[in-house]
Amino acid sequence: MAALQSAAMPAYANKTEVFNAAILRIGASKIASENDNRSEVTILQGIYTGVVSDWTSKHAWSFMKQSADVTKAGETGKKPAYYYFLPSDCDTFSYAEIAGAPVSDIKLVGSQLWTDHDATLTVYYNAEPDPQLWPGDFAEGIVKYLHAALLRGLVMDEAAADSMEGRAKVKMIEAMTRDRRQSGGIVATKEPKYVQAWRSGRRASS
């Protein structure tokens, strides 16, 4: 049980600390800021957002789950009739309810939710990923991906980079398994009607 709890403990305070964890693994010195003018930072900035976004979209991580009540912002002038703004920290929309009942006729349009319901919506979503909230195993997986990028782009060791990427993927899968076991996992697996909303939940305009 102690090992499981350790895996879920936050590891880093900010993006700079995440970068430094990867940079130290190739024997380089720490950076002072994520905006430092160093080749390591350039490489890491180039993949960080993509790697984090890719893995946060694969699973409804418990550390990202949030809910908020939102009120009607206006009328669309078409069908569906009304629009609501997603919470400002929303990264991935999951589903919405009115007084505990699921809202099925809802459409995601950019950062808006369109529906014919004129009532307060309780919106369930994944918040933007914050390193301060990352469990230790999730954080370690991300650092391994960043380490692989430095091995490939700076150390120029393709074999070591490929190996590290494989280890990173294994770590992230382990983290997802642990998170599902502890929190019940993806809402969509329990509520099939939400599968499509969850899978297409990033703010892609439709």
Helix (H) or strand (E) holding 141: helix 136-153
pLDDT at residue number 59: 85
Alpha-carbon torsion 147, 152, 157, 158, what sign? positive
Strand 74-75 relative to strand 90-98: parallel, antiparallel, unpaired?
A: unpaired
Tell me: the pLDDT tens digits for 40-62?
Answer: 999 999 999 999 989 988 887 88
Structure tokens at 51: 């790697």
**Mean pLDDT, 10 residues at a time, the chain of 206 residues:** 44 94 97 96 96 89 92 96 95 91 94 96 89 93 98 98 98 95 54 42 45
- Tell me which residue of 133, 130, 125 sits closest to 68, measured CA to CA: 125
pLDDT at residue number 9: 59
Q: CA 4 → CA 62, 118, 175, 178, 179, distances in Å?
A: 15, 44, 10, 8, 10
pLDDT at residue number 141: 97
In the sheet that 101-102 helps form, which strands lie side by side, from edge to edge? Answer: 65-70, 121-127, 90-98, 101-102
Residues in the chain, overall count: 206
pLDDT at residue number 145: 98
